[in-house]
Every structure is written in structure tokens, then in C-alpha cells.
A and B are shown apart, each in its own frame.
Chain A
Amino acid sequence: MTNPLHLAAPMLASLILIGCGDSDPGAATSPQAGTVASPRLAYVTNGVADFWTIAKAGADAAGVDQGAEVDVLMPTGGVTDQKRMLEDLVTRQVDGIAVSPIDPGNQVDVIDAAAARTPVITHDSDAPGSARRCYIGMDNYDAGRMCGRLVKEALPDGGEIFIFVGRIEQDNARRRRQGVIDELLDRDADPERFDEPGGPLAGSKYTVLGTLTDQFDRAKAKANVEDVLSRHPDVDGMVGLFAYNPPLILEALDGAGKTGAVEVIAFDEDEETLQGIIDGSVAGTIVQNPYMYGYKSIEVLSKIARGEDPGIPEDGMIAIPARTIRAADVEAFWADLREKTGKE
């Protein structure tokens, strides 16, 4: 019963998780990209979330329209899991891959290795400098600035705000946060700027007190909000940058009896966020268009696989702009969302 290996549990667990790959060496040899009538395409996300379920609906719809076979893969084990998926997809000789890189700066070689064998495009989060054919998504920096403007609408007289986000090492999270900060501090647009999380950043009217991450642990995400309410009892606004952050901000505010006393500015379209906008506890939210990310990705890959012109602009970015949802437009937006996801 004395087993010193007990402590190696997490290590072994992760090794086994990584090892459980779904390789399919038996797949038939695929024709060269550019000549395929009904291409086999893969859509790789950066994790598991409702956001990606909506994107999957778009990808599947495009698969039907384009006569393509679409496989949607959602990695759960971070960068290593995503790398394994890309490698396995290349082994399966798919005719095109759309990927949302988790850590673009350090994944260029992985993307290039895949791109050497099959057309690769990025969606949702870009990998600049890689051999990807194009990027489909919104400019996260611009969306961050839209979110910043929403903060200004909610707190016209200025105030102190705090930012909550799952991970900051992701390109989209980083740019989104920087957009919010730069807008509130009335700086010029510079998507490459990066303020280290930590000390407060003060502008003329607004102060960004700090940024906290939770690594997707919801209990931790809620605890972060509670701790900020302890540390900064007079905080005026809270910005949740990942889909699950705003509902947990609402939970924590409810627990502290501060619903409505602190302005909540959201990102993405979690149902509780949308309900919050209807109830007035959330000022508004910036939504992406994940359905179109999925749809457009498969459409572009299908065209590349068939040798048609996919219509990629000079700068390599196919923009799917973000939208601001306020109380006036929330009902219509929600109804459309339900229709696309097949809920109710």
C-alpha cells in the first residue's frame, strides 16, 4: 500500500490523456488539394464551449451547402492536445484544416508543419507569421475597443473598472483586453501594445484597477470577482471578456447584494448574460459571430480544395465584424441565436 507513485498522478494522467489520440491510419489516400469534388475538412477549436457549438452549427451548415464532409474537433488538453489533433488530421490526409490556435506565438511551427501538407486557415484567433492561407474572424482589438465604448456608455462620468478573463496568453484575450484598456485611457489605436496585468492603469476619467485570470475554473472565476469586491469595495464596473465570466460576475454580485450597484459589461452571448441585459443588470455585450466563423471557414476551405477562388483579400483577413448588443436589440438577437443553435 505504500506507493510513492501517488504523487506522480497528475503527470501520468496528462501523459495518458495526450496518448489517447484518435489516429486513423486506415484512411484512404486523399487526392491532392485543388481537385477534390467533396472534400474532407476539419474545423479545430481552441477548447470546449457553447461558443464553439454555435460555430459547429455554422460549419455543418456550410458542409451541407458545399458538399463537404466536416469534422469538428474540440481540444480539452490545451496546446498539446491541439497539436496532437493537427498532426492526426495531417495523418488522415484531410483536404483542409481551419484552426483557432491557442497560443499562436508558439504554434507557428505546428501550423506550418500542417500547412506544408494541406491548406490551413485560422479562425477566431490568428497566427500572424505562419503559413496559414487566411484568417477568418474579427479584429479582437477593435472588439475590445467596442467593449470599452460600452463601458463609457455605462459609466459616462468615469470610474474604476476591473477586467476578468479566462486566460491572458491567448492572442484574442490579449487584444480584447488591450482594446478595452486603450479605449478607456483614450490612447491611439495600437493593437501590438501590451500592458502587463498588475498595477492599476489610470486615465483622465477611467482607471483600470487590474485583470484577473481563472484558467477556465469557474469556482475560481467567481472567487476572483468576490476577492475584487473585498479588495476594491467601491469598484464601479466589471468587464467579463470570456463568455462564462459575465454570468459569474452576476452570481458574485448577487451573493454580495450588489446587483445593479456595479455596472457589468460583457463579451459573448451566454444566456445569463442576455437575460442580464433584459433585466438591466448587464449594460450590454459585444458578440462575435461564431456561426459565420464556422460557415465561412468551411466555405473557404471547400473552395481551396476544389481549386476555386476562395476570395481571400490582400491582407489575408476575412473580417466577420463584432456587434454591440444592448437592451434594445437583445430580444431579436436571442431569437436568431436560438434558431441557429436549434434551442427551443
Chain B
Amino acid sequence: MKRAGKILGVFGLLVATCVATSALTPYFLTAYNIENLLRRTSLFGVISIGAAFVIIVGGIDLSIGSVVALVGCLLPWLLVEHGVPIWFAVPGVLLLGLLLGLCHGLLVQRVRLQPFIVTLCGLLIYRGMARGVTGDQTVGFQNGFKGLRSLVKTRFEVPGLDGFAIPSTLLILVAIATLAVIFLRFTVWGRHLLATGRNASAARHGGVRTDRYVVLAYVICAGLAGFGGMLFILDVGSAQPADFGNFYELFAIAAAVLGGCSLRGGEGSVIGVIIGAALMQVLQNAITLIDWIPDNIQYAVIGAVIIAGAISDEGFRRLLLRRRTGTP
């Protein structure tokens, strides 16, 4: 009930933003723009779902942007600079993401370090590694690897809708989201993961191996960050290791929180997170498309909308609580 309310809240905000934007500019509801928005939402949605898993178990991952940079830069670096075959490079960089997540999880769970510290150091280390390995050189596919890049560049034309096509990234997001929803809602592991975040000691006493679920959440998060990094570099085509993926962890965390994940853990909805990611992209798009909003205040607008969402969410929660307890 509460979860549904949260999703409705952020969904309402998304719809309101879309309606307002389309009223203010005729260019918003064009096939080309919608397709762009779907693609961007899909890319950020992938890393946001990862962030949600960690937040659900009551942790935080600040290294997402740096994992995006490391994996995103290593892929073209291996393929173009060193001629490593695709079938080796792609699984290799994805495995690297998973391994980094395993390190985070073990450091948090076994060594008992705070997730904030572990992933903050990750943020610094992976950025430094990306820059060191590539020697600060911009890396890119140099118009090659069209086959691999078609993973994110393929468009599926929709019959009857002139000019509109579904980007392949959306299908990737749908696949990942479906797996995540099935895992969280329909498997015992998912329920144990939620229970771990809600109250770790209670879950432990209830026989849940909470340590494993915490590690799993970090593995999923960094794994998806690495996968997202690969999608980003395939989409953009080139990356400068010093700034690629900068602040993306904050976009991911913001999308997860907007989508109903509580930073206290135990709560979260995959659909909500995707809507949260979409909201962030629509806001940025709206600011560019509407002439009278200066482009340089976009962070202020995004921040204001997120805080408005948080306030309305809190208000909604209190309203529910009052109804339930019967107090006026």
C-alpha cells in the first residue's frame, strides 16, 4: 500500500512534468525527442536499479560513477588500443564490475567497514585507475565496432507511428528491471534481501544469512554500474577518463530515492526507481527545450523537484499514518 503510494507520487510528478513541458514547448512530444528520452532513461535506469539494491540493504554506493568510468574507458582501451577480441574484452570488463562489487561487499560485511568509506575510497581508486591505465588519453571506438555498438544503437521501428522507434537500450532496461522485480518480489532471496535492509538483526535471528545478502547487493550494484558504463561508452563513442561518469552515482542515488527507496533501508521499488530516473532525464530535457529557462540553472531545478518530491512523500506518509491511527 505504502509502496504503491510512493510510486504513484513520483509517477504523478513525472506526468505533471511531462504535461507542463509539452504545454510549454511543442518540441517535447515529438517522436525523436521521446526516443532520446527513452534511451537516456534506460542508460541511467540501469545504474539506478543497481544503486537501489544497495540502498535497500541499508548501504550506499558512492563509487558508481567511477565504476562507469573504469569499465567505460577500459572497453575501448582494450578493443582499440590493444586489439583484444570482443568475446574476451566484454565479459572481462563486466566481470571486473562484479569483482569490484564483491570487494565492496566483503569489506562492508566481513571487515565491518562503513559502506560510505568503502565506496568513497572506491570512487577515488577507480577514477585514478581509469586515468592511470589510459594515461589520461581520450579513448574511443574511432568509428569502428559498429556491431558491438549496435547493442545500444539499434532502433526498432514501430509500425503506424511515423518516425518513432524503440531504442534497444529500452529493451535492455526492461529485461534487467523484469529480472530485478522477479528477484525482489517473487523469490525467497529477494524477500530475505528486503528483510535484511528492514531490520538486519531481526532477519538474522529469523535465520536469514544477512551477510550474504549485503554482499550480493553490492555485487549487483557494481555489476550494473559496470554494465551501465559499457552501455554509456557504446552510446557516446568516446570517453575522457578524468570526467566520464562524474557524479553519476548521485544521479543514480537520487533516482533510487525519488523512486521510493529509503536511505534507512528495507524499502524500494524497481518500477519507482525507473520512474525516478525518467523524471531526472525529462527535467534536464525540459530545461533545454523551454527557451525561457536558462540552461545553467538545471541543477537547481532538479534539486528543487527532488526536494518537492521528498516533502510531498513525507506529507503523504503522515496522512496515511493519521488515517490508520484515526487521529485527526
Contact = CB atoms under 8 A, between A and B. Distances in A.
Contact of A3 (B116, B197, B285): B116
A219 B232 contact: yes
A131 interface: no
A228 B287 CA distance: 11
Given A9-B62, A275-B143, A224 B288 contact: yes
B104 interface: no
Given A1-B264, A230-B33, A10 B236 contact: no
A340 to B, nearest CB: 14
B138 A244 contact: yes
A218 B248 CA distance: 12
Contacts of B243: 48, 76, 216-218
Contacts of B242: 47-48, 74, 76
Contact of B43 (A20, A219, A230, A256): A219
B32 A12 contact: no
Contacts, number: 137
A204 interface: no
B296 A213 contact: yes
A12 B250 CA distance: 13
A7 B243 CA distance: 21
B30 A230 contact: yes
A65 to B, nearest CB: 23
B143 A222 contact: no
**Which interface class (under 10, 10 to 19, 20 to 34, 35 or more) fits A?**
35 or more
A256 B120 contact: no
A227 B286 CA distance: 9
B247 interface: yes
Nearest to A51: B138
A29 interface: no
A271 interface: yes
B200 interface: yes
Contacts of A328: none
B288 A231 contact: yes
26 contacts: A1-B59, A1-B265, A2-B264, A3-B60, A5-B116, A9-B116, A9-B120, A9-B249, A9-B250, A12-B120, A13-B62, A13-B120, A16-B124, A48-B131, A74-B136, A76-B242, A197-B296, A198-B294, A216-B240, A217-B246, A220-B284, A223-B36, A248-B237, A251-B237, A255-B153, A256-B32
Interface of A: 1-7, 9-10, 12-13, 16-17, 20, 47-50, 52-53, 74, 76, 197-199, 212-213, 216-220, 222-224, 226-231, 233, 244, 247-248, 251, 255-256, 270-272, 275
